[in-house]
Copies of this chain bind each other. A is one copy, B any other.
Amino acid sequence: MKVIRTVNVAVVGATGAVGTMMLRVLEERRFPVGELTALASRRSRGRRVRFGGRSVRVRELTRDAFDGVDLALFSAGAGCSLAFAPEAARRGALVVDNSSAFRLEPGVPLVVPEVNPEAASRHRGIIANPNCSTIIMVVALEPLHRAAGLRRVVVSTYQSVSGAGARAIQQLWRESGRLAGRWRAYAPGRGVEQACEKLRAAGASGGPLPHRIACNVIPQIDVMRPDGYTKEEFKMRAESRKIMGLPSLRLSATCVRVPVYLAHSEAVTAEFARPITPARARAILRRSPGVVVMDEPGEGRYPMPINLGGRDAVGVGRIRQDPDDPRILHFWAVGDNVRKGAATNAVQIAELLVGASA
């Protein structure tokens, strides 16, 4: 029996929105970190990050940086993962990769610990961390599936700008500041139409999102595919099928960016093989790991970005039966896309393996 006392951890993309949170989650969960290596592209070389009360210098990402690393948490985009993750694994590190690079590879487990923890042990050096919207949805769907047999899903998302990284956060920040200045020029009640015309004229602000996001919603996340779906929408379908072990699950998503900084919201329609009442669904979800039921809508209690941001749980509420079909439930789920949708889930995956080797 090999007892792992400490784990040498590398965080790749350590200065990004998710990488920064990975460092924080490793601390919060008292992950047994031995040596901590913060890696980033040449652009961030020399910057410093905080970990364990110390200031850690960010090193440039190279192949040799993985020597002596036991666990490499990647969150620097698919290109970076394709270039460096196999090399990190070859040098003996377990890779947990937050990019889309390997998620649908047959030999790579795609893991949400509350859903398919057993898949993690079948890794060959790389485990993929799913898309943020997918994680938030399947944490809520899996317990209901076990009870009633999931047949079909229709989901519409309300995704925050932090899902597009630190530069998208800056885009909304910058646009909001410009609009705030403009709004001050109008007395409230002077006519939203007139004000909005000025806002329209202001145009985009040159950020990473495809359009202006302040006072707007954008029905496109990631690139378009030839079939009319975006890559984000395709991910929700393909990844949910793999994680839940339902290769022919019927699922269609509409993924939309909204002017919110943190936390993704999702309106989910789930059709089951057997009828399931909202009361039973609530009872099941209340005892499910990673879920918090917030479902007293008459008292204004339901999940929202302002009360789920900064938390690891997925909030589920507005659970109701379809008025025409008792096999269909509609519900509303919200989760912190940077935490449970990315950093926390990655660290939870690592914990599964550390636990398994003890």
A193 at the interface (CB under 8 A from B): yes
Q: Which segment of A66-74, A108-116, A184-192, A345-353 sits at the interface?
A: A184-192
A33 at the interface (CB under 8 A from B): no
Residue pair B228, A297 in contact (C-beta under 8 Å): yes
A224 at the interface (CB under 8 A from B): yes
Majority SS at the chain A contact face = mixed
Selected from B20, B169, B332, the residue in CB contact (under 8 A) with A219 is B332
Contact flag A228-B278 (CB < 8 Å), given A219-B317, A338-B192: yes
Shortest CB distance A241–B (Å): 11
A284 at the interface (CB under 8 A from B): no
Residue pair B258, A305 in contact (C-beta under 8 Å): no
Residue pair A323, B227 in contact (C-beta under 8 Å): yes
Within 8 A of B (CB), among A301-343: 302-307, 309-310, 317-325, 328, 330, 332, 338
A288 at the interface (CB under 8 A from B): no
Selected from B251, B261, B303, B319, the residue in CB contact (under 8 A) with A192 is B261
Q: How far, in whole Å, are A143 and B344 apart by their CA atoms in the complex?
A: 47
Contact flag A196-B158 (CB < 8 Å), given A219-B304, A259-B258: no
A133 at the interface (CB under 8 A from B): no
Residue pair B261, A215 in contact (C-beta under 8 Å): yes
Shortest CB distance A202–B (Å): 10
Contact flag A262-B176 (CB < 8 Å), given A158-B217, A212-B306, A305-B215: no
A180 at the interface (CB under 8 A from B): yes
Residues of chain B within 8 A (CB-CB) of A200 are 306-307, 309-310
Residue pair B324, A250 in contact (C-beta under 8 Å): yes
Contact flag A210-B300 (CB < 8 Å), given A215-B305, A217-B158, A252-B330: yes
A51 at the interface (CB under 8 A from B): no
Shortest CB distance A169–B (Å): 5
Residue pair A196, B309 in contact (C-beta under 8 Å): yes
Residues of chain B within 8 A (CB-CB) of A191 are 20
A237 at the interface (CB under 8 A from B): yes
Shortest CB distance A253–B (Å): 9
A211 at the interface (CB under 8 A from B): yes
Proximity string of chain A (275-294) to chain B, C-beta cutoff 8 Å, 1 when within and 0 when not = 00010000000000000000
Q: Which residue of B lies closest to A255 (CB)?
A: B267
Shortest CB distance A177–B (Å): 5
Selected from B195, B251, B252, B310, the residue in CB contact (under 8 A) with A193 is B310
Residue pair B177, A211 in contact (C-beta under 8 Å): no
Selected from B154, B179, B260, the residue in CB contact (under 8 A) with A176 is B179
Q: How far, in whole Å, are A97 and B115 apart by their CA atoms in the complex?
A: 51
Residue pair B267, A256 in contact (C-beta under 8 Å): yes
Residue pair A300, B220 in contact (C-beta under 8 Å): yes
A84 at the interface (CB under 8 A from B): no
- Other A-B contacts than A156-B156, A156-B267, A228-B320, 10 sampled, CB-CB below 8 A, are A20-B191, A166-B188, A199-B261, A200-B310, A219-B332, A224-B297, A228-B318, A252-B324, A254-B330, A259-B259
